[in-house]
């Protein structure tokens, strides 16, 4: 469902548009960039320390991620930089090859990311099982948390989870009170600060690091602190070619590229859910991330990815364009060059505390609950344990193998049930029935008494020859012993062919059914009830909880318009009003049914948006233009409400389809103009005006092209029609906020 307002200001000149853009940057992006900058500095230092990289490398990656990925990436509000998800990978590369070679691997991984983006196959990374991805992040999070716990206790981080766990008792005995106090206080502030409603706009990591740094500067002279080079630009370690087996180096490059790509793309998708601006172009985002990694590696910086923590902060701080991400990188560079000495006051235990909390937050209970509901928790746990104990590549590989094995098991698994009611036995076969499930099928069929009446209902994606023969043999034997079997031969033949038409609803199986081939209403009801088990729990919940739709959808009674299909929504999502011509007579026009629906939807149901949806080939519009409606008929009385729309359409220039550039017919032009008039009529209702003024309600104009199966947004100015994914609609919406 698009959520864009149809009310837009008149077309502006390019100069006015530029002034508006600069005003938006100054009012929104500049303040947001400062907030993100304050978060990025401590996180970048902490991630560099946890990875065993030079601290300046983390800051270089933050600058490059902000400027390069921010400028070239396809997710305008995503902020990039060094990320906790790559800490384990980078730490392993540093210990194996050294930092200069690790920078070279980062540079090569960036070039590979660019290639993936150019070839448009980078988005395949999103095809990974969510259980494996979240399990990978959880394993990394546990490893980071245990590793940084060592630093909080005053020790040195070890190379593996087992080594860190083994060393923990020794650190507890060693007793480093100042380091422990700094680390514990950092963690406490990080957890407590967001719970304070009036101050949580200030980033918790900034508050924690500043507070404990000030405390340590006064009372704790002996704690280990950040150590940066006096001349940062002269101390950069330039990349070198790794020295090792070619296959190991290729594996390292692939690992960095794939992990960075997956994390960046997942973050971009997550950021899109936080705002209503332009959606991410994932291929372009991958190219931008690759360019940032190539530049970061060339300058001796860490690998770069899109980071959800900084990105969500960027959105929450009010950023509107990519200028915020770019500016945050500029502020980091200026701060390091002009005031780097201030960073050397920060205790390392404070950064460890920040990373400790960051690592634990990678293990999200919401993901665990969701995966548990979908029976994917085992894959999550195995992947997380494998990453934490064996390593990233090994853990992910084990998780992928397990996920694939479970998919194959489900594909080869069928559910066979036999139930009896009023002397009729019903055998339901669901899933994919192949030879592996034949024994279970036979056991179920043998429970049916001899001589019973049986109906076999087949709801499978595929039926192989072994299963078909097993059912045929049982049927012949059951009939021979005096029983009867009702079998849908057409369904069986389609299942043997894996006919995709079986998966379609009856109305989808033929574009224009012949009269003698139409599915009767009773046949349709029977087919719905036979397959309603999947949605019955959801409908039962809706029946118990009542309706809470988010949208009021006003559209035409035309039988070709299916609101739930157009908006990809389901039961309970929309409160729908349908009438001839999708009309909303102004308040006071004695249209009691429409008036009641609008007031009930806004005042009782509290809908968030009202959509008026017109459509092409509208019979009401054509009839109104031809003026051939019988005088005095109910239809003529109703369509008199179209007269303002006709007057509006006459005053409009030609309207063209935004996809094809073809001029709309007079009837379609009237249909588009009519949507705008009905939106104006909605504002004649006091409840609508009040809710809209308070920001609780949004009015949306929509026009559906039946032949093209495409929805367009309706504006009240040229170009009048825009595609729902078009940047113009997004830019116009943002300019009004």
- Residues of each annotated binding site for Zn(2+): 556, 558, 615, 618
Backbone angles phi, psi at 571, to 5 degrees: -55, 135
Tell the burial category of 724 from Cβ atoms under 10 Å away from its Cβ (0-12, 13-18, 19+).
middle
CB atoms < 10 A from the CB of 243, how many? 9
Which segments within 354-437 are labelled E, that is strand? 414-421, 424-433
Which segments within 330-421 are labelled E, that is strand? 414-421
Q: Quick check: 623 and 13 in contact, CB under 8 A?
A: no
Beta bridge partners of 712: 703, 723
**570: helix, strand or coil:** coil
Backbone angles phi, psi at 181, to 5 degrees: -60, -45
Q: Quick check: 286 and 122 in contact, CB under 8 A?
A: yes
Q: Report the C-alpha gap between 141 and 137 in whole angstroms.
A: 6
User: Residue 716's closest CA among 4, 3, 6, 5?
Assistant: 6
Tell the burial category of 278 from Cβ atoms under 10 Å away from its Cβ (0-12, 13-18, 19+).
buried
Backbone angles phi, psi at 308, to 5 degrees: -70, -35
| The token pair that represents 85 in the structure block | 């998800």
Q: Quick check: 24 and 267 in contact, CB under 8 A?
A: no
Q: Residue 156: which residues within 8 A CB-CB, separation 6 or more?
A: 150
* CA dist 296 → 226, 239, 325, 329 (Å): 21, 10, 16, 13
Residue corresponding to tokens 């087919």 = 527
**97: helix, strand or coil:** helix
**107: helix, strand or coil:** helix
Pairing of strands 609-615, 710-714: unpaired
Q: Report the C-alpha gap between 54 and 164 in whole angstroms.
A: 21
Beta bridge partners of 433: 463
Q: Report the C-alpha gap between 471 and 367 in whole angstroms.
A: 42
> Peptide bond preceding 719: is omega within 30 degrees of 0, i.e. cis?
yes
Q: Report the C-alpha gap between 446 and 636 in whole angstroms.
A: 66
Q: What residues are designated binding site?
A: 556, 558, 615, 618
| The token pair that represents 272 in the structure block | 């899109």
Q: Quick check: 711 and 562 in contact, CB under 8 A?
A: no
List Cβ<8 Å contacts ≥24 apart for 145-150: 145/355, 145/356, 145/359, 145/360, 147/50, 147/359, 148/46, 148/50, 148/352, 148/353, 148/355, 148/356, 148/359, 149/352, 149/356
Side-by-side strand order, sheet with 414-421 = 414-421, 424-433, 453-463, 484-487
Rg (CA), the chain: 32
Please, what's the b/e burial string for 663-692 (b: 16 or more CB within 10 A of its CB; e: otherwise)?
Answer: ebeebbbbbbbbbbbbbbbbbebeebeebb
The HSE-up count of residue 439 (CA atoms within 13 Å, CB side) is: 1
């Amino acid at each position: 469902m698009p959520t864009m307002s149809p009310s837009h200001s008149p077309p502006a000149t390019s100069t006015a548009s530029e002034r508006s853009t600069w005003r938006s940057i100054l009012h929104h992006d500049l303040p947001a960039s400062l907030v993100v900058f304050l978060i990025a500095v401590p996180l970048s230092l902490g991630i560099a320390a946890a990875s065993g990289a030079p601290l300046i490398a983390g800051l270089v990656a933050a600058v490059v991620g902000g400027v390069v990925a921010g400028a070239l990436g396809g997710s305008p509000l995503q902020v990039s930089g060094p990320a906790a998800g790559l800490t384990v990978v980078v730490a392993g590369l540093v210990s194996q090859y050294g930092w200069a070679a690790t920078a070279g691997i980062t540079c090569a991984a960036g070039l590979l990311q660019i290639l993936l983006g150019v070839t448009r196959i980078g988005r395949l990374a999103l095809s990974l099982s969510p259980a494996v991805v979240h399990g990978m992040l959880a394993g990394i999070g546990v490893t980071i948390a245990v590793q940084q716990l060592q630093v909080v206790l005053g020790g040195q981080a070890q190379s593996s989870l087992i080594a860190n766990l083994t060393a923990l008792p020794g650190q507890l005995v060693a007793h480093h009170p100042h380091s422990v106090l700094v680390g514990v206080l950092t963690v406490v502030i990080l957890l407590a600060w967001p719970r304070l409603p009036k101050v949580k706009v200030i980033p918790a990591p900034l508050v924690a690091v500043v507070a404990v740094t000030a405390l340590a500067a006064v009372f704790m002279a002996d704690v280990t602190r950040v150590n940066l080079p006096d001349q940062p630009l002269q101390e950069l370690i330039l990349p070198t070619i790794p020295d090792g087996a070619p296959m190991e180096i290729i594996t390292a490059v692939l690992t960095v590229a794939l992990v960075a790509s997956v994390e960046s793309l997942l973050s971009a998708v997550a950021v899109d859910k936080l705002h209503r601006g332009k959606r991410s172009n994932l291929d372009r985002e991958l190219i931008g991330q690759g360019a940032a990694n190539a530049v970061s590696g060339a300058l001796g910086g860490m690998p770069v990815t899109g980071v959800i923590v900084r990105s969500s902060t960027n959105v929450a701080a009010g950023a509107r364009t990519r200028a915020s991400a770019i500016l945050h990188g500029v502020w980091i560079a200026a701060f390091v060059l002009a005031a780097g000495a201030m960073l050397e006051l920060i205790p390392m235990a404070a950064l460890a505390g920040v990373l400790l909390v960051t690592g634990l937050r990678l293990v999200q209970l919401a993901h665990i609950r969701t995966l548990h509901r979908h029976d994917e928790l085992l894959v999550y746990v195995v992947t997380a344990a494998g990453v934490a104990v064996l390593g990233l590549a090994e853990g992910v590989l084990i998780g992928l193998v397990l996920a694939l094995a479970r998919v194959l098991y489900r594909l080869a698994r069928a559910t066979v049930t036999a139930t009896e009611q009023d002397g009729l036995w019903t055998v339901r076969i669901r899933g994919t029935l192949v030879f592996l499930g034949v024994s279970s099928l036979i056991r179920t069929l043998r429970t049916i008494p001899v001589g019973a009446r049986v109906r076999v209902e087949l709801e499978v994606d595929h039926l192989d020859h072994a299963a078909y023969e097993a059912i045929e043999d049982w049927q012949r034997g059951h009939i021979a012993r005096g029983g009867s079997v009702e079998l849908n031969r057409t369904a069986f033949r389609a299942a043997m062919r894996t006919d995709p038409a079986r998966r379609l609803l009856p109305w989808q199986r033929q574009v224009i059914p012949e009269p003698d081939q139409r599915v009767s209403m009773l046949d349709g009801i029977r087919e719905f009830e036979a397959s309603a088990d999947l949605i019955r729990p959801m409908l039962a919940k809706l029946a118990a909880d009542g309706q809470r739709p988010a949208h009021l959808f006003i559209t035409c009674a035309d039988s070709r318009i299916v609101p739930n299909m157009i908006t990809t929504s389901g039961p309970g999502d929309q409160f729908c009003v349908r009438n001839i011509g999708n009309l909303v007579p102004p308040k006071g026009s004695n249209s009691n049914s429409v008036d009641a629906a609008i007031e009930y939807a806004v005042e009782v149901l509290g809908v968030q948006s009202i959509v008026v949806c017109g459509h092409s080939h509208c019979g009401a519009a054509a009839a109104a233009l031809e003026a051939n409606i019988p005088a005095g008929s109910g239809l003529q009385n109703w369509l008199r409400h179209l007269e303002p729309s006709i007057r509006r359409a006459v005053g409009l220039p030609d309207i063209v389809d935004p996809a094809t550039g073809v001029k709309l017919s007079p009837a379609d032009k009237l249909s588009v103009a009519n949507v705008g008039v009905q939106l104006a009529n909605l504002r004649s209702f006091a409840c609508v005006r009040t809710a809209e003024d308070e920001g609780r309600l949004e009015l949306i104009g929509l026009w559906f092209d039946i032949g093209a199966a495409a929805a367009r947004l309706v504006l009240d100015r040229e170009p009048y029609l825009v595609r729902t994914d078009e940047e113009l609609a997004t830019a116009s919406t943002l300019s009004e906020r």
